[in-house]
Amino acid sequence: MRDGWRAWWATPLVGALGGLLASLAHWPLPWMIGALVAVILFRCTTPWQIRDLPGGRKTGQCIIGVGIGLHFSPEVVEQVLAHFWLILFGALFTLLSSIAAVWLLRRTGEDPATAFFSCMPGGSGEMVNLGQRHGAVLSRVAAAQSLRVVALVLCVPMIFKLLMGDGDAQFQAAPADGLWLAVLLPAGAALAWLWQRLQQPNPWLFGPLLVSATASIVWNLHIGLPHGASQLGQLLIGSGLGCHFDRAFFRRAPAFLLRTLFSTALMMALAALAAFALGALTALDIRSLTLGMMPGGIAEMSLTAETLALSVPLVTAMQVMRLLLVLFLAEPLFRVWRKRLDEGR
d(CA 295, CA 274): 13
Give the per-residue pLDDT at 160: 81
Give the per-residue pLDDT at 250: 86
Give the per-residue pLDDT at 1: 43
Q: What is the DSSP letter of 224?
A: B
pLDDT band at 172 (very low <50, low <70, confident <90, very high): low
Average pLDDT over residues 212-220: 95
Residue 156: give the domain boundaries. Answer: 4-343
Our count of domains for the chain comes to 1
Query: What does R_g of the chain's alpha carbons equal in angstroms?
Result: 20
* 84, pLDDT greater than 70: yes
The better pLDDT of the pair 128, 185 is held by 185
In this structure, which amino acid lies at residue 162? L
* 46, pLDDT greater than 80: yes
pLDDT band at 96 (very low <50, low <70, confident <90, very high): confident
Contact status, residue 19 vs residue 31, Cβ threshold 8 Å: yes
On average, the pLDDT of the chain sits at 89
Give the per-residue pLDDT at 168: 55
At 226, which CATH number? Answer: 1.20.1530
Output the pTM of the full model.
Answer: 0.88
Residue 176 dihedral angles phi and psi, to the nearest 5°: -85, 155
Q: Which of 171, 183, 206 is nearest to 62 (CA)?
A: 206
What's the farthest any 2 CA atoms get from each other in the chain? 64
Average pLDDT over residues 228-244: 92
Tell me the HSE value of 214 on the side-chain side, using a 13 A CA sphere. Answer: 11
Give the per-residue pLDDT at 319: 92
* 171, pLDDT greater than 70: no
- Give the tens place of pLDDT for each residue, 60-76: 999 999 999 999 999 88
* 345, pLDDT greater than 70: no
Q: What burial class does residue 10 get, using C-beta atoms within 10 Å of its C-beta: 0-12 exposed, 13-18 middle, 19+ buried?
A: middle
